[in-house]
């Protein structure tokens, strides 16, 4: 037909499906038949080799990510400044400009003082909150310095070892079935070849997996080596990020890269980037129809084994969404819309709790359902009275506690095991459950944002479950510190599991509750935790605020006649 208009390129839907497109405007035949919108991409003018070299030499894309990091750094500095404005700041406090002028070193002297105003000296939660803010600021300053000038070199043998360790793990990692293992495993041999080009999305996924393999499976490496290589992996992800964002299409590879990048950013104390990547992950999941695996056109037309893996991954994504909503106080993303995904069929030869990872998934799923019920009650009953909301949170918290008792999580933890991955899976299940308890109670005001507002005020714990959960979180955090005795491991414990709230609760209990016979055991717990923190943080400048804050809290106990 003379009136038929053809587009230069195939439509986006046909390209994603890798099918032939007749390119008829405004809608191709395939999209017309399926009744979906047809979107034609526009051809982008190619850059010459000289233009490409020029754009890379000027580092415009790198500057975009650098400016983003500096923007987050500035917000943290403003937040810290507002925190100190209510009290007299320490005259020896290190300014942001002074820190920026220091030599770029991840392992530095621990002379950087922590500013503690007179008001915060009576409030353990405020002391630890300020220390966490300073730790984040130091980390962002370090990454901003190393982003341009830092060198990235991962030895090939170590990269292969970390990849092997990652894929050999039996844990139920998120959407592992969507990761092209064959492609990832050949990258160490080809990444440095001069004529090999890897897409940015592949680089992000590769270095994110390397980061996880390095931090969780760093065998026979000194703590400083773990920090060096983990930092190099994260910097490589940051450098590839602007190139990937420029050409992202919402493919399966984009989804997996965003998923891993969100996890690594959270482990690296960059909540803003983790939140941004989590939003992308959920958007890509909806575009790939992963939220509708058991409804619509996808129901019954997929490989059953693959479908169960996708179902399991989606339920883990729901838990992450609830965690971010509860702990980071962000709005819901994937759980905000309608989704239809059944629980997977766990086909294992050993019944629970024999199969550790199957049991862990069952407990995680039960906890997820309880937290979803908690948010559903809060969302459907706007203006709920505070007493009723607190009873709701306490009821859901007792459900989680009962769940852990029913599955004999305590006996499960002390059971002998020679596999580090299995031990971490056990600890992760229990500490996640108790962390949800603490933050649900905090959400409804049972635990205030700050435990005391004046030195004379005594904090009141209206729920004994708060102290019980805090004790369990600290005990498990000590186990994690022994399991990962390097700065990245401590950062994971502090930032990923948010143990500063539980630690502040227990310090406040020891300082202000003198009639509890369990205080002696609490002091022993805090003493063990402080020794772990100070040992790992020694020589690491970014973690200095944490060790100084713990020392300050221990001095407060000593001044009041108790000692950790």
CATH number, domain containing residue 37: 4.10.240.10
379 domain-assigned: no
Q: CA of 468: how far to CAs of 49, 398, 419, 503, in Å? A: 63, 11, 28, 12
Q: What is the pLDDT of residue 48?
A: 53
The last residue of a domain, from among 318, 341, 364: 341
Note whether 545 and 487 are within 8 A (CB). Answer: no
Note whether 77 and 110 are within 8 A (CB). Answer: no
Q: CA of 336: how far to CAs of 314, 321, 376, in Å? A: 14, 10, 11
Q: What is the pLDDT of residue 27?
A: 82
Q: What is the pLDDT of residue 356?
A: 80
**24 and 159 part of one domain:** no
526 domain-assigned: no
Q: Cα(489)–Cα(474) distance, rounded to whole angstroms?
A: 15
* Number of domains the chain is built from: 2
**202 and 323 part of one domain:** yes
397 domain-assigned: no
Q: Cα(467)–Cα(197) distance, rounded to whole angstroms?
A: 54
User: Going by C-beta distance under 8 Å and a sequence separation of 6 or more, which residues neighbour residue 269?
Assistant: 135, 136, 139, 140, 491, 495
**156 and 39 part of one domain:** no
Q: What is the pLDDT of residue 408?
A: 73
291 domain-assigned: yes
- Kindly state the tokens that stand for 260: 């891993």
- Tell me if residue 430 falls in helix, strand or coil: helix
34 domain-assigned: yes
Whose tokens are 């004790």? That residue is 471
Q: What is the pLDDT of residue 390?
A: 85
171 domain-assigned: yes
Q: How many Cα atoms within 13 Å fall on the side-chain side of residue 558?
A: 8
Q: What is the pLDDT of residue 168?
A: 79
**27 and 155 part of one domain:** no
Task: For the chain, count helices (H), then strands (E).
Answer: 22, 0
**166 and 21 part of one domain:** no
Number of other residues whose CB lies within 10 A of the CB of residue 517: 6
pTM of the shown model: 0.76
Number of other residues whose CB lies within 10 A of the CB of residue 376: 11
**192 and 322 part of one domain:** yes
Q: What is the pLDDT of residue 299?
A: 47
Domain of residue 19 covers 1-43
User: Going by C-beta distance under 8 Å and a sequence separation of 6 or more, which residues neighbour residue 213?
Assistant: 161, 162, 163, 165, 166
The last residue of a domain, from among 284, 315, 341: 341
136 domain-assigned: no
Strand partners, 6: 24
- Average pLDDT per block of 10 residues along the chain, 564 residues long: 66 76 81 78 59 45 61 61 44 32 39 42 83 91 84 90 82 76 93 90 95 81 86 94 90 93 92 94 91 66 64 90 92 87 68 69 92 88 76 92 83 71 87 94 73 44 80 94 91 90 91 79 92 91 92 85 55
390 domain-assigned: no
Alpha helix ranges (H) inside 169-303 = 181-190, 200-216, 223-247, 252-267, 271-287
Note whether 519 and 562 are within 8 A (CB). Answer: yes
């Amino acid at each position: 037909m003379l009136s038929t208009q053809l587009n230069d390129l195939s439509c986006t839907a046909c390209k994603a499906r890798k099918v032939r497109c007749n390119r008829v405007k405004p809608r191709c035949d395939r999209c017309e038949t399926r009744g979906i919108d047809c979107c034609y991409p526009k051809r982008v003018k190619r850059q010459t080799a000289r233009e490409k070299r020029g754009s890379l030499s000027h580092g415009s894309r790198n500057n975009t990510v650098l400016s983003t990091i500096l923007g987050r750094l500035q917000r943290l500095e403003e937040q810290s400044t507002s925190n100190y404005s209510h009290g007299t700041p320490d005259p020896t406090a290190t300014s942001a400009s002074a820190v920026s002028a220091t030599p770029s070193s991840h392992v530095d002297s621990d002379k950087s003082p922590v500013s503690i105003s007179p008001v915060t000296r009576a409030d353990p939660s405020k002391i630890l909150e300020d220390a966490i803010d300073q730790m984040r600021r130091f980390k962002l300053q370090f990454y901003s310095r190393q982003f341009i000038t830092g060198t990235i070199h991962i030895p090939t043998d170590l990269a292969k070892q970390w990849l092997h360790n990652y894929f050999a793990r039996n844990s139920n990692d998120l959407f592992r079935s969507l990761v092209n293992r064959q492609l990832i495993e050949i990258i160490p041999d080809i990444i440095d070849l001069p004529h090999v080009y890897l897409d940015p999305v592949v680089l992000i996924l590769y270095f994110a997996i390397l980061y996880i393999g390095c931090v969780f499976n760093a065998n026979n490496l000194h703590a400083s080596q773990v920090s060096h290589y983990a930092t190099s992996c994260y910097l490589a992800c940051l450098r590839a990020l602007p190139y990937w964002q420029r050409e992202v299409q919402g493919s399966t590879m984009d989804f997996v890269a965003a998923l891993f990048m969100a996890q690594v950013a959270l482990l690296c104390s960059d909540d803003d980037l983790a939140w941004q990547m989590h939003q992308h992950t959920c958007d890509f999941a909806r575009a790939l129809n992963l939220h509708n695996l058991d409804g619509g056109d996808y129901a019954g037309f997929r490989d059953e084994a693959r479908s169960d893996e996708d179902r399991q991954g989606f339920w883990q994504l729901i838990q992450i969404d609830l965690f971010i909503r509860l702990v980071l106080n962000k709005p819901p993303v994937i759980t905000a819309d309608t989704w239809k995904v059944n629980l997977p069929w766990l086909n294992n030869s050993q019944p629970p709790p024999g199969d550790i990872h199957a049991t862990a998934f069952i407990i995680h799923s039960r906890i997820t359902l309880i937290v979803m019920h908690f948010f559903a009650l809060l969302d459907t009953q706007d203006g709920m009275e505070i007493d009723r909301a607190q009873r709701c949170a306490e009821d859901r918290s007792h459900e989680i506690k009962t769940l852990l008792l029913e599955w004999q999580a305590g006996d499960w933890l002390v059971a002998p095991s020679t596999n580090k991955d299995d031990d971490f899976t056990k600890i992760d299940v229990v500490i996640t459950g108790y962390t949800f308890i603490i933050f649900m109670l905090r959400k409804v005001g049972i635990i205030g944002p700050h435990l005391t507002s004046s030195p004379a005020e005594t904090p009141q714990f209206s729920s004994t479950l708060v102290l019980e959960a805090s004790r369990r979180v600290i005990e498990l955090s000590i186990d994690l510190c022994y399991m990962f005795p390097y700065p990245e491991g401590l950062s994971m414990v502090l930032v990923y599991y948010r143990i500063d709230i539980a630690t502040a609760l227990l310090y406040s209990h020891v300082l202000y509750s003198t009639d509890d016979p369990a205080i002696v055991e609490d002091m022993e717990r805090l003493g063990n935790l402080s020794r772990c923190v100070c040992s790992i943080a020694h020589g690491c400048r970014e973690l200095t605020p944490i060790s100084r804050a713990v020392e300050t809290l221990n001095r407060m106990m000593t001044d009041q006649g108790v000692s950790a």
